[in-house]
Structure formats: C-alpha cells, structure tokens
Amino acid sequence: MPNTSKSSTAVHITDVAVIGAGPVGLFAIFQCGMLKMSCHVVDALGEVGGQLSALYPEKPIYDIPGLPKVLAEDLVGQLETQAAPFESAYHLDQQVTTLTQSEGGRWLLETSKGTKIDAGAVIIAAGVGAFGPNRPPLDNIEEFESKGPGRGVHYLVKRRDDFKDRRVVIAGGGDSAVDWALSLADIAKSIAVVHRRPKFRAAPDSAEKLATLAADGVIDLVIPYQLAALEGDGGELSTVVVADLDGNQRRLEADVLLPFFGLSQNIGPIADWGLDLDHNHITVDPQTMVTGRPGIYAVGDIISYPGKLKLILTGFAEAALAAHSARDHLHPGEALHFEYSTTQGVPGKN
C-alpha cells in the first residue's frame, strides 16, 4: 500500500509534486526517485492506477514491452511496487484546486481537502482529467443503476465473474463493447450486442471474432438498433427494449445492461492554471515535456504535441523525460552523472 496521508494545515515540502497516480504518474514517481528527488502525489480517485484501476482492472493489455499479456490491475500493482522504495507520500481522493507560484519560483498546490504542498517542480500526469461515463438518454435509467454486481445498469466491468450466468445486453460499437462481449461470451448465460450500425469501430481482429461468435449463435448481434427503454420491477432489470430507425421494437431479456458510449472528460481546475491548451490537452515541448510555464511538466494522455501517440508506453517515456527535465530545473548547471538502473540499482534492492 502507498504511504497515504490525511489533509493537514501543515505545508508539505517536496522536490516534485506529481498530479495523477495512474500508470504514467506511478512511473514518473519511480523516475524521480532514481534521480534522488522526493515526491508528493495527488489523485482525485481513492486508489492508485487511474483509469486502469477504476474502469478496466480485469482487462488484458497486450502492448507493454516484455509483457505479452498483463491484466490492468496487475500492471498497476507492479508499477506501485516499483515506485515503493522511494516512499513517496500519496494524497488520494482529493483534487488539486489551485496552483500558484511563489516569489522564489517554487509552486504551491492546494487540494479540495485542504492539503498544501510546496514543490520545486510539478509533473501533471492527470490522464484524461476527471472522467465519467456517457449515460444513454433513457428516462428511468437511474432506477436500475447500482443494483449490485451483475444486476441492473453498469458502465464498467470490474470483475468478470460478476456476470457469470447472467443475461447480458451490451450497447455500443467501439472497442470496449466488442472486447467485453468477447470476454463475457463464455461465462454469461446470454450476450446480446446492440449497435445502431452494422459495422463496428473496434479493432478488425476483434470485430471478426465477434462476427464468428454471432454466426455460431453464441452472441446475438442486434443491429441496426438503439436503446429505447428499460423495464423491470422494483429496480430489478428484466427487459431492454430496442428500436430500429423505423421505430420497430425488439424486447431483449436482460439481467444487466452494459452501455459503452465512451467517457465524458473534464480537465477541471487545470484549465485555470495559465497553461497552453489545445482542445483540453496541455501542449508541451516534446523534448523536455515542459509546459508554457517553467517548472511545470505534463505527460500522458493529457498532453498534445506533433506526433503524440496515446499509448501507455509513450507515457512512460514522457515520464522519464519530465523527471530529468525537473531535475535540471531544480539543480541548474549541476551535471548529472547518469547511470543505468542495472548499474545504479534501486534503494533497498542493490
């Protein structure tokens, strides 16, 4: 478990404040530690891992170098373990609300819980910022939300086994909808996938697998249809009503509805920090990850620069660049005797 701290009237002094404890933020902590810089970390969620922990803990990831396949929650656990030797302080379940510069060039961060952090440099690794699901416009949908594992309306899958022997209706045409249809097909009692178009926007290989399962009768492809209504008794979902463009309706028996219509994203107070923004993304110098304000760096999905790839592995490289840039900012003119981790080792593990 990370070293979490409660809100306090005292000001915490640190070399680097990392905003965001997702995978890229966790690797930034490790990189700062290897450069002998202390970190305080703030995240709006109550646990580390960002979207991987909050939305996709049991989803496999295939593009991490050296790991042909790793579950999201396992990757987060390994990153947390990797950063642990540096004993950074974590301030979870709170959001940085203000960021101001002192006369000495340092930065003061204040959070929604009153925590104050005085940092020489800041690394913003806030992912997509605050996020939440886009809810389908169904009149009574709230009535069926939060009814427990494997029942009612859910916007994410945390535990695959929650849907064992359930009648599952999935709505959407992107990667999340297709991936979870494939993943749940062998444990759910039934799977129906509702999409308004015959063509899916998922990876071609996944779309082909979906079509094969549909041809074999394992999955019911309900296309082209859209969600029209939900029916049930006492908040217990029993039927998902769908309609085509001509208004013709079908009734799908269901214990659970999984609507995957993407996330609503909001960078929140970051928009007021005087940084250069491009459509809710922070623009940075790709050589240093510095923003428009010296001493503030940004990495991961929240940034924009020519050729930017939104991949975790890209974020890891950006985190390393930001940490080295922050070190140069904190120690101007001081030469760094750079050593590879194989030579330098990690505190407590040499």
144 or 102: which carries more pLDDT confidence? 144
Would you put residue 235 in left (φ > 0), alpha (ψ -120 to 50) or beta?
Answer: left
What is residue 309's predicted lDDT score, i.e. its pLDDT?
A: 94
Would you put residue 266 in left (φ > 0), alpha (ψ -120 to 50) or beta?
Answer: beta
Q: Is the pLDDT reported for residue 203 higher than 90?
A: no
Q: Which residue has the tokens 């020519």?
A: 306
Q: How far apart are CA 267 and CA 117, in angstroms?
A: 20
The confidence band for 249, taking pLDDT boundaries of 50, 70 and 90, is very high
What is residue 58's predicted lDDT score, i.e. its pLDDT?
A: 77
What is residue 342's predicted lDDT score, i.e. its pLDDT?
A: 66
The confidence band for 276, taking pLDDT boundaries of 50, 70 and 90, is very high
Greatest Cα pair distance in the chain: 72
Model pTM above 0.75: no
**β-bridge partners, 107:** 101, 119
What is residue 45's predicted lDDT score, i.e. its pLDDT?
A: 84
What is residue 59's predicted lDDT score, i.e. its pLDDT?
A: 81
SS3 344: helix
Q: For the residues 240-254, what does the mean pLDDT come to?
A: 96
Mean of pLDDT over the chain? 91
The confidence band for 235, taking pLDDT boundaries of 50, 70 and 90, is confident
Q: For the residues 291-304, what does the mean pLDDT come to?
A: 95
| Whether the Cβ atoms of residue 59 and residue 72 lie closer than 8 Å to each other | yes
What is residue 3's predicted lDDT score, i.e. its pLDDT?
A: 67
What is residue 103's predicted lDDT score, i.e. its pLDDT?
A: 78
Q: How far apart are CA 274 and CA 277, in angstroms?
A: 9
| Whether the Cβ atoms of residue 282 and residue 304 lie closer than 8 Å to each other | yes
Q: For the residues 177-199, what does the mean pLDDT come to?
A: 95
Q: Is the pLDDT reported for residue 158 higher than 90?
A: no
Smallest CA-to-CA distance from 35 within 242, 313, 337 is with: 337
Q: What share of the chain is helix, strand, coil (3-state, %, to 5)?
A: 25, 30, 45
Q: For the residues 104-125, what does the mean pLDDT come to?
A: 96
* CA 151 vs CA 155, 186, 187, 241: distances in Å: 12, 18, 15, 16
| Top mean-pLDDT range of 16-20, 69-73, 160-164, 338-342 | 16-20
Structure tokens at 77: 């656990």
265 or 267: which carries more pLDDT confidence? 267
- The lowest-confidence range among 95-109, 139-153, 187-201 is 139-153
Residue 239 burial class via C-beta count within 10 angstroms: exposed 0-12, middle 13-18, buried 19 and up:
middle
What is residue 148's predicted lDDT score, i.e. its pLDDT?
A: 79
What is residue 256's predicted lDDT score, i.e. its pLDDT?
A: 96
Please report the domains of the chain, with CATH numbers, ordered by start residue: 3-131+264-344 (3.50.50.60), 135-261 (3.50.50.60)
- How many residues can be counted in the chain? 350
Q: Is beta strand 89-91 parallel, antiparallel or unpaired with respect to 116-124?
A: unpaired
What is residue 129's predicted lDDT score, i.e. its pLDDT?
A: 67
Rounded to 5°, angle at Cα 266 from 154 and 73: 50
What is residue 104's predicted lDDT score, i.e. its pLDDT?
A: 84
The confidence band for 350, taking pLDDT boundaries of 50, 70 and 90, is low
Q: To which H or E segment does residue 76 belong?
A: helix 72-83
Q: For the residues 194-223, what does the mean pLDDT come to?
A: 95
pLDDT tens digits, 40-68: 999 988 889 888 877 777 788 899 999 99
Structure tokens at 344: 């330098």
Q: How far apart are CA 230 and CA 78, in angstroms?
A: 41
Q: For the residues 265-271, what does the mean pLDDT come to?
A: 83
